[in-house]
């Protein structure tokens, strides 16, 4: 945003604070945390009256150990996916000394094209938690010196 915006809207904000705000802005390629960009993308979707798209998900997990193999497979269940009887090849299971299987608790995640794909693997509360952590750990400490 141009500094004239700050002068008009927030006339009491010191120029060094405005400069720091600008350095953190993702749209400037600033050095702020990536999570600020996520917040900006989600806010832009929201303010344009578009509902956030979410998808229900769960995980199926299978961990096996044998004399020759220690393997864990995690399979994301979404879009009516069915739980598989096994995730490993049956030949790998033949001499397994340890087999653990499970299905993780269902959760809801974002399915927004504006966000990085890896966020689709995280529950919404985890994504928002990462955003809060970035604000608490990076943004607030930067501005405490100005207070």
Of 31 and 40, more confident: 40
Residue 44 within a domain: yes
Residues 30 and 67 in one domain: no
Is pLDDT above 80 for 138? yes
- Number of domain units in the chain: 2
How many Å apart are CA 122 and CA 112, to the nearest integer? 12
60 neighbors 75 (Cβ within 8 angstroms): yes
- Kindly compute the dihedral angle of the four CA atoms of residues 138, 139, 144, 147, in this order, to the nearest 10 degrees: 170
Is pLDDT above 60 for 23? yes
Residue 115 within a domain: no
Predicted confidence at residue 63, as pLDDT, reads: 94
Residue 63 within a domain: yes
pLDDT tens column, 52-105: 677 788 889 999 999 888 999 988 887 777 888 888 888 888 888 999 999 888
The residue to which tokens 């985890």 are assigned: 126
Residue 116 within a domain: no
Is pLDDT above 60 for 1? no
62, β-bridge pairs: 73, 101
Q: What does residue 110 show for φ and ψ, rounded to 5 degrees?
A: -70, 150
91: left (phi over 0), alpha (psi -120 to 50) or beta: alpha
102, β-bridge pairs: 61
Predicted confidence at residue 49, as pLDDT, reads: 63
Predicted confidence at residue 44, as pLDDT, reads: 74
Residues 59 and 45 in one domain: no
Of 81 and 28, more confident: 81
pTM, 2 dp: 0.57
Residues 58 and 105 in one domain: yes
103, β-bridge pairs: 60
What residue numbers bound the domain in which 66 lies?
54-109
How many Å apart are CA 42 and CA 116, to the nearest integer? 12
């Amino acid at each position: 945003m141009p500094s004239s915006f700050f002068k008009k809207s927030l006339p009491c904000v010191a120029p060094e604070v405005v400069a720091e705000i600008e350095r953190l802005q993702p749209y400037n390629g600033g050095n702020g945390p990536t999570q600020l960009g996520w917040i900006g993308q989600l806010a832009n979707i929201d303010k344009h009256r578009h509902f956030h798209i979410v998808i229900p998900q769960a995980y199926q997990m299978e961990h096996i150990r044998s004399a020759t193999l220690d393997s864990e497979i995690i399979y994301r269940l979404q879009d009516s996916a069915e739980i598989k009887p096994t995730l490993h090849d049956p030949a790998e299971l033949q001499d397994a000394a340890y087999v653990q299987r499970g299905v993780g608790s269902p959760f809801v995640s974002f399915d927004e094209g504006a966000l990085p794909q890896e966020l689709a693997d995280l529950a919404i509360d985890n994504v928002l938690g990462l955003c809060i952590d970035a604000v608490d750990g990076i943004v607030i400490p930067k501005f405490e010196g100005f207070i």
